[in-house]
Amino acid sequence: MSFSDWLREQCREEWDAVVGHPFAMAINSGEADMRRYLVQDFQFVDSFTALLGAAVAGADSFEARVPYGQFLGHVATTSEKTYFHRAIEALGAASAPPEPVTADFQALMDEVRHGQRYELVVAVLCVAEWSYLGWASRAARPYPDSWIHREWIELHEGPEFRAWVGFLRGELDRVGPAHREDVLDVFRRAVTLERRFFDMAL
């Protein structure tokens, strides 16, 4: 069993609750009310891009830094950022202050970024991306007619995103075992926050 698989097994109940969450399944079926969810999720963009920057700085080789830099450019300038603007405008969603779980997740991202421990940065990134692949990969084709649901699924499923998650898992497998307990603590906290975030959206 890989280290990343071991981490997931230690959080199996919470992990399964995330990837099979009723709100996530409603996204997959095109039935989720996305307004509150997207307004809150968009508030992660700044902390998430800063976390990617910390991964670039903390990685121990050029080969490891490149995928983070590439994904950072993807988030900051291409499809994901424009999706948020288009979807929030189309839904007529108003800006809102962070919900408690949003603030807690931002705080975790900022904590590991300021701590400058690469293995913990990777743990948070891995949970965020791997768990989203987990629920998006359950979507049946054809995807929903609603572009708001369909494009959100497509952003978190497909060969490129699977390769990105595979890279994160590989890095966690490589650098995490030497710091097993600390990594497990952060990984578990992130999974719990993912579940709370979907609970909030529902």
Residues within the annotated binding site for substrate? 41, 80, 129
Residues flagged as binding site: 41, 80, 129
Is 194 one of the annotated active-site residues of the chain? yes
Long-range contacts of 85-93 (CB under 8 A, 24+ apart): 87/34, 87/38, 87/148, 87/151, 87/152, 88/35, 88/38, 88/39, 88/42, 90/148, 91/34, 91/35, 91/38, 91/148, 92/35, 93/35, 93/36, 93/38, 93/39
| Residue that is written with structure tokens 């710091």 in the block | 179
- Catalytic residue from among 14, 119, 151, 194: 194
Residue 29 and residue 144 in contact, taking contact as beta carbons nearer than 8 Å: yes
Q: At what angle do helices 3-10 and 159-175 cross, to 10 degrees?
A: 90
Q: At what angle do helices 100-115 and 45-58 cross, to 10 degrees?
A: 20
Residue 131 and residue 191 in contact, taking contact as beta carbons nearer than 8 Å: yes
When computed from its CA atoms, the radius of gyration of the chain, rounded to whole angstroms, is 16
Instruction: Report how far residue 42's alpha carbon sits from residue 162's, in angstroms, rounded to the nearest whole number.
Output: 22
Mind telling me the catalytic residues? 194
